[in-house]
């Protein structure tokens, strides 16, 4: 319980402190130390949960499933804040941001971390909604941090679309509360996930079904499911790069986590129903997931901005995960959990590298980014290895998880393996048609290396490689435990 309190309070208090810290270098240092301490606390929490069992309080619920996302979130938060130090200092030198906005940036970064960790650990579906809306509010002013017309437009779109989207989720939450109020007499308990999950079979199936659709649309907007994805490439491409890394690596995961929790309740409520499809929730997720996966793969071919390119790749992978969780069953769930991990690690590493690449080239336009390997080999190779990993090449972890997902699909819906394979090929081509000339080729005259810290990217990619070569036994057991929570039976 203390570990959880430290994990949650660390970013909340740091955000308050950082709002008053004037000098940018001090703010950067506090930001880094706080996320590092937060990561240490989350590891401590995970250790407690895995050795002594989870926390099942009225307000907070931590089990094998969400503690793994808590660790992942704190880890990516830590490495991103390490990367953001020299990166934002460089932006400050270029006068793209002012010292005052750096203060806003640091406070919002920690505020965002707090909302992410709160959404993951809360047991109350209402608080989950409040925290996810809070995540939008914490990041909207970061998307417009550079105050260019494009970034203002991106932030406005992000604000309105995500605001409207997540309003649908609130409507779904109210409907769920309405259904629960007839079964659970104490109104204080009627929104608690653990209570709802225990009483799922008694909930009115029709009301829960409608609620699920609203919740899927609402949180699906934040996951970036097509056709609700319009805000995502804009917000990722116009904001500062550390923001893109945490949006892609963390926010999308947490929104998907919310959908999975709701699906667990919906499945329980619909299971008994004769008149309705017991797999309504899963089928809807499969449909939306597959659509996002296919459409985003095609859009990869049209991109001219490097950050937009990789944000479409995020939509594609989130679609694949949504599809896999919709498919259900231990194999698909295990694969999807693994995919969530490797995608977060790889994608945030790629966004970090892309940030360096666009600082070197002075632009985000793909056609003007040239010869990275010659100018700064670390960046060039980082981008190449990251792209190979995200495209699903062996021996990286993304290959393992995609292989598991394909096998699961073959088992239950064999004909769906065809669009999946086609989509993977299309996405692969979309990524690699741009890559070669950016990484190799002659570098333009006067292109200079920039100061950077290579540790975050190397660390992330090394982890992804490790997960591809061999999943450590304790991690496999951990994922298996989570799989058992979500799908009812384990894989191992």
Partner 1 sequence: MTAYADLPLIEQAIRTFAALILVTSFALLAQSRVVAAIQVFAWQGFLLAALTALVAWNSGLTHLYISAALTLALKALFIPWLLIRQARRLGILRDLDAVIRPGLTLMAAGALVIFCYNVVVPVREFTQVVTRDAIAVSLALVMIALLMLITRRKAITQVVAFMSLENGLFFAAVTATQGMPMVVELGIAFDVLIAAVIFGVFFFHIRDSIESLDVDQLSRLREIND
Does residue 316 belong to the site contacting partner 1 (CB under 8 A)? Answer: no
Does residue 164 belong to the site contacting partner 1 (CB under 8 A)? Answer: yes
Q: Among 14, 66, 119, 124, which residue sits at the site for partner 1 (rule: CB under 8 A)?
A: 124
From the list 129, 397, 415, the residue with the least C-alpha distance to 258 is 129
Does residue 141 belong to the site contacting partner 1 (CB under 8 A)? Answer: yes
Residue 326 CA to residue 423 CA, distance in Å, equals 18
Stretch that binds partner 1, among 84-92, 148-156, 319-327, 420-428 (CB under 8 A): 148-156
Stretch that binds partner 1, among 121-129, 316-324, 419-427, 470-478 (CB under 8 A): 121-129
Shortest distance (Å) from residue 107 CB to partner 1: 13
Return the number of the residue (272 or 470) whose C-beta is nearest partner 1. Answer: 272
Count Cβ atoms within 10 A of the Cβ of residue 186 and give its class: 0-12 exposed, 13-18 middle, 19 or more buried: exposed
Residue 229 CA to residue 340 CA, distance in Å, equals 18
Does residue 178 belong to the site contacting partner 1 (CB under 8 A)? Answer: yes
Does residue 350 belong to the site contacting partner 1 (CB under 8 A)? Answer: no
The site that binds partner 1 (CB under 8 A) totals a number of residues, namely 48
Residue 174 CA to residue 159 CA, distance in Å, equals 22
188 neighbors 230 (Cβ within 8 angstroms)? no
Longest dimension (CA), the chain: 72
Distances (CA, A) of 155 to 137, 159, 223, 226, 265: 10, 6, 17, 19, 34
Residue 327 CA to residue 456 CA, distance in Å, equals 33
Beta bridge partners of 305: 365
Shortest distance (Å) from residue 139 CB to partner 1: 11
Does residue 29 belong to the site contacting partner 1 (CB under 8 A)? Answer: no
Distances (CA, A) of 471 to 48, 438, 483: 21, 32, 15
Return the number of the residue (5 or 181) whose C-beta is nearest partner 1. Answer: 181
Return the number of the residue (62 or 269) whose C-beta is nearest partner 1. Answer: 269
Return the number of the residue (35 or 108) whose C-beta is nearest partner 1. Answer: 108
Beta bridge partners of 62: 55
Q: Where are the alpha helices (DSSP H) in 182-305?
A: 193-198, 205-223, 231-238, 241-246, 252-271, 280-299
Shortest distance (Å) from residue 16 CB to partner 1: 14
Binding track, positions 209-248, relative to partner 1; x by CB under 8 A: -x-----------------------x--xx----------
Return the number of the residue (111 or 397) whose C-beta is nearest partner 1. Answer: 111
Q: Among 44, 156, 393, 403, which residue sits at the site for partner 1 (rule: CB under 8 A)?
A: 156
Return the number of the residue (309 or 385) whose C-beta is nearest partner 1. Answer: 309
Does residue 171 belong to the site contacting partner 1 (CB under 8 A)? Answer: yes
Shortest distance (Å) from residue 286 CB to partner 1: 25
Shortest distance (Å) from residue 144 CB to partner 1: 6
Distances (CA, A) of 61 to 64, 118, 165, 264: 10, 11, 26, 15
Q: Can you read off the two tokens belonging to residue 117?
A: 């960790």
Which positions touch partner 1 (CB under 8 A)? 124, 126-127, 129-131, 133-134, 137, 140-141, 144, 147-150, 152-157, 159-160, 163-164, 167, 170-171, 174-175, 177-179, 181, 187-188, 190-191, 204, 206-207, 210, 234, 237-238, 299, 302
């Amino acid at each position: 319980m203390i570990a959880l309190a430290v994990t949650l309070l660390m970013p909340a208090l740091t955000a308050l402190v950082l709002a008053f810290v004037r000098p940018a270098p001090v703010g950067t240092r506090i930001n880094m130390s706080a996320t590092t301490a937060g990561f240490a606390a989350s590891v401590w929490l995970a250790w407690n949960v895995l050795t002594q069992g989870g926390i099942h309080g009225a307000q907070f619920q931590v089990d094998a499933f969400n503690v793994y996302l808590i660790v992942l979130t704190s880890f990516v938060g830590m490495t991103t804040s390490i990367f953001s130090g020299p990166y934002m200092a460089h932006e400050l030198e270029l006068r793209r941001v002012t010292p005052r906005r750096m203060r806003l940036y640091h406070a919002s970064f920690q505020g965002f971390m707090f909302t992410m960790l709160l959404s993951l650990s809360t047991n109350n579906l209402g608080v989950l909604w409040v925290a996810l809306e809070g995540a939008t509010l914490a990041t909207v002013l970061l998307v417009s941090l550079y105050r260019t017309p494009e970034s203002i437009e991106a932030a406005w779109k992000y604000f309105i679309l995500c605001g409207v989207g997540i309003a649908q989720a609130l409507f779904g939450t109210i409907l769920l509360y309405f259904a629960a109020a007839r079964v659970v007499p104490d109104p204080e308990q009627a929104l608690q996930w653990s209570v709802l999950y225990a009483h799922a079979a008694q909930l009115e199936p029709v009301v829960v079904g409608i609620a699920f659709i609203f919740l899927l649309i609402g949180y699906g907007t934040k996951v970036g499911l097509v056709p609700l994805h319009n805000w995502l490439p804009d917000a990722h491409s116009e904001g500062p790069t550390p923001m893109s890394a945490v949006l892609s690596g963390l926010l999308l995961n947490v929104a998907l986590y919310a959908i999975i929790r709701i699906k667990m309740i919906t499945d329980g409520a619909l299971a008994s129903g004769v008149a309705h499809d017991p797999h309504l929730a899963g089928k809807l997720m499969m449909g939306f997931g597959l659509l996002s996966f296919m459409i985003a793969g095609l859009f990869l071919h049209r991109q001219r901005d490097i950050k937009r390119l990789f944000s479409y790749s995020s939509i594609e992978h989130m679609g694949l995960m949504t599809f896999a969780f919709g498919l259900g069953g231990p194999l698909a769930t295990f694969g999807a959990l693994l995919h969530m991990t490797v995608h977060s690690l790889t994608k945030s590493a790629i966004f970090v590298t892309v940030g360096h690449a666009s600082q070197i080239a002075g632009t985000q336009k793909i056609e003007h980014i040239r010869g990275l390997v010659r100018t700064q080999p670390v960046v060039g190779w980082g981008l190449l290895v990251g792209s190979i990993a995200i495209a699903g090449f062996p021996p990286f972890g993304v290959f393992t998880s995609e292989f598991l997902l394909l096998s699961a699909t073959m088992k239950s819906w064999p004909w769906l393996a065809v669009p999946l394979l086609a989509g993977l090929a299309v996405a692969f081509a979309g990524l690699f048609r741009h890559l070669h000339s950016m990484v190799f080729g002659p570098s333009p005259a006067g292109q200079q290396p920039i100061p950077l810290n290579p540790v975050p990217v190397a660390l992330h990619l090394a982890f992804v490689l490790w997960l591809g070569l061999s999943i450590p036994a304790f991690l496999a057991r951990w994922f298996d435990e989570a799989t058992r929570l979500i799908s009812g039976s384990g894989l191992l």
